[in-house]
Amino acid sequence: MRRGYLLLEDGTVFPGRSVAAGGHAFGEAVFTTGMTGYQETVTDPSYAEQLVTFTAPMVGNYGVDEGRLESARPHARAVLMRRLGGRAWAEWLTAHAIVALDELDTRRLTLRLRDSGAMRGVAVADEAELPVDDALGQVRAQPLMEGQALVAQVSTDESYVAAAGGRVSVAVVDYGAKRSIVRRLAAADAAVTVYPHLADPDELARHDGVVLSNGPGDPEPLTREAELVRGLLGRVPVLGICLGHQLLGLATGHETYKLRFGHRGANHPVLERRTGRVLVTSQNHGFAVAPSDGAEATHVSLYDGTIEGFDLPELRARSVQFHPEAGPGPHDAWPILEAWVRQLEEKAA
């Protein structure tokens, strides 16, 4: 096996062993605390342009299954692990041209990112092909995640029917939508059509409801997407998820900002203000809606007080920052999608 390394923009080097594709990958180094769901993580479009560190001590130990994919291809730029758990995982990463390192001190790396924040970096499969001294300048020349509008590179080019024959019709605006969202909507008996990120709001409004999906990058430069959301409010029921939640926030006068190291994992506690119940949730985002005491803020993070949900009944809109489809993750938030579809059925009856 080749010896490789991860280099962060502050000059910190983490040596490791290359276990997948050759070459190197630039991106933002982040970490996820999920103990399972490595395939779901790597194929989640919200991880576009990121080098993903798994805090779990072993990754790949339960094999590879095409049914676990959240999109047609990986979107994470590189995979960083303490220990590779199986050859099938390494072979899958190699087949998809993903740089992956194990024997990496992921504990030290996670603490570095937690204390200093997510950083630009490069994962290098062979240190002989790209020496550290040559790589550092290239890392620092990479764009910051702030200001990056990435949805265009992960959204569908054309609309398509993802699930037919439901009791209500739902449009999903694809900012990087996970397959689990479509599967959960279909399981709730919704017919689902997926649309590009800049779809015609009049066409979207013909459906019984509209889901604003998850997606990568900074929400602030997505001015056209926020304007599209603004054009839907009050016309049709809207449910935002993750980036969709942030866009709903921007469309209604809230601010977003970049988190120091993001919320990524399947164990994030969220307070449901109305009931006092705490949901354990699956999350993956590096940006957030700024804290607010407004009545429209229905859920808050128990980590940092960021807004994790909106309810705007006068605009027929609501949203959650976390992932109610739980792919992967706990099922505490599963009822959110089913309840929303049920409300659409009641209004359509």
The pLDDT of residue 348 is 76
> Which stretches of the chain score pLDDT less than 50?
none
The pLDDT of residue 327 is 87
The pLDDT of residue 291 is 86
Q: Which of 49, 70, 225, 325 is catalytic?
A: 325
The pLDDT of residue 293 is 81
List pLDDT tens digits, range 205-236. 999 999 999 999 999 999 999 999 999 999 99
Six-digit token string for 237: 């029921």
Q: Is 75 a catalytic residue?
A: no
Q: Which of 242, 263, 285, 296 is catalytic?
A: 242
Q: Is 325 a catalytic residue?
A: yes
Q: Which of 24, 207, 245, 323 is catalytic?
A: 323
The pLDDT of residue 189 is 96
Q: Is 242 a catalytic residue?
A: yes
List pLDDT tens digits, range 143-169. 999 999 999 999 999 999 999 989 999
